[in-house]
Amino acid sequence: MRDLFAIVMLFGIYSLLSAGFFVSMDAVDVALTEAAVGAGITTVLMLGTLALTARTEKRKGHGPLLPLLVVIVTGAALIYATLDMPYFADPDAPAHQHVAPRYIQESGTEIGIPNIVTSVLASYRGFDTLGEVVVIFAAGLGVLILLGVAGDRRHDASPSTMQHHLVLRVITKSLIPLILLYALYIQFHGDYGPGGGFQAGVIFAAAFILYSIIYGLNSAERIISPAVLRFLMAAGVLIFSGTGVAALLLGGNYLDYDFLAHDPVHGQHVGILLVEFGVGVTVTAVMISVFFNFSGRSNARQETGKQ
């Protein structure tokens, strides 16, 4: 299969299928994230890359025999390794002892929010989440450096090809507020059901990306300019680490939310709220900024006539 466009589409379907699989494995938070991120953002970015590079693959020079051999040997070794693993869904597996029962039993009294995944993510394992937010920020910076077009963009309304499509424009206009509302719902409802900062950030960004696809990059940049996006990227990380510093200043350890309010459970709630908000802001800003960079690169190419 040499048509890259078809490959990207099939990859989107594969991501959606794995999201369905995660639901059947009771991993609802993960399924939401995988559906939003894998089937949404990744497909859009790959299509953007295809628009900037080639559409089909060249015939390759060497045969498939050696890679096939390597793959078969590695696969056989791995299957031999799994013969000692615990059986599927076994409640006595080592993965379910030690830490996990403590989280499940203590999360209700120590933190007091129903969604255990959010309480583990934002409170028990807050350091990992801090690292994750910084990684997203770094990736946003990296794309900015690689693909950022410096200087003032032409602010005339260069018409995008979608300007004349009435049905698309009307549907988009009525859908975007709903998407934004849904993103806000997921952001703040992450304590009670599946959701949280990451999913909300991605869906929020999807609304802006939809607007940018239909109405053109220049209109989208007038709504939320790249300077604001750069500020928001850093602001989210600052909010997150600032919460940790606030806990330090109020007498506890770094990111120890117990000290943020008059009583530990309320402190945990406040801490999780702030932290998820920081995550949501950074993820939104990075996703929108990455898309704007890909889009802007293609515009800049067309302006200078390169191919």
Give me the amino acid identity at 273.
Answer: L
Closest to other proteins by CB, 104 vs 250, is 104
Which SS3 state, helix, strand or coil, does residue 120 take?
helix
Q: CB–CB of 245/254 below 8 Å?
A: yes
Residues 25-64 that bind other proteins (CB under 8 A): 25-30, 33-34, 37-38, 41-42, 45-46, 48-50, 52-54, 57-58, 60-61, 64
Binding region for other proteins (CB under 8 A) out of 129-137, 225-233, 237-245, 262-270 = 129-137
What are the residues facing 56 on neighbouring strands? 3
DSSP assignment of 11-54, as one string? HHHHHHHHHHHHHHTT-HHHHHHHHHIIIIIIHHHHHHHHHHS-
Scanning residues 223 to 282, which ones bind other proteins (CB under 8 A)?
Answer: none
Assess 96 for contact with other proteins (CB under 8 A): yes
Q: Would you say the C-alpha torsion 113, 116, 118, 121 has a positive or negative sign?
A: positive
Residues 104-123, mask of contacts with other proteins (x by CB under 8 A): x--xx-----xxxx--xx--
Q: How far is the CB of 223 from other proteins (least distance, A)?
A: 22
150 in contact with other proteins (CB under 8 A): no
CA 127 centroid distance within chain: 18
Is the Cβ of residue 224 or residue 287 nearer to other proteins in the bound state?
287
- Assigned token pair, 250: 């109020």
Measure the CA–CA gap between 260 and 78, rounded to whole angstroms.
47
Q: Which stretch binds other proteins (CB under 8 A): 215-223, 231-239, 262-270, 293-301?
A: 293-301
User: Is residue 176 close enough to count as binding other proteins by CB under 8 A?
Assistant: no
User: Residue 64 or residue 251: which is nearer to other proteins going by CB?
Assistant: 64
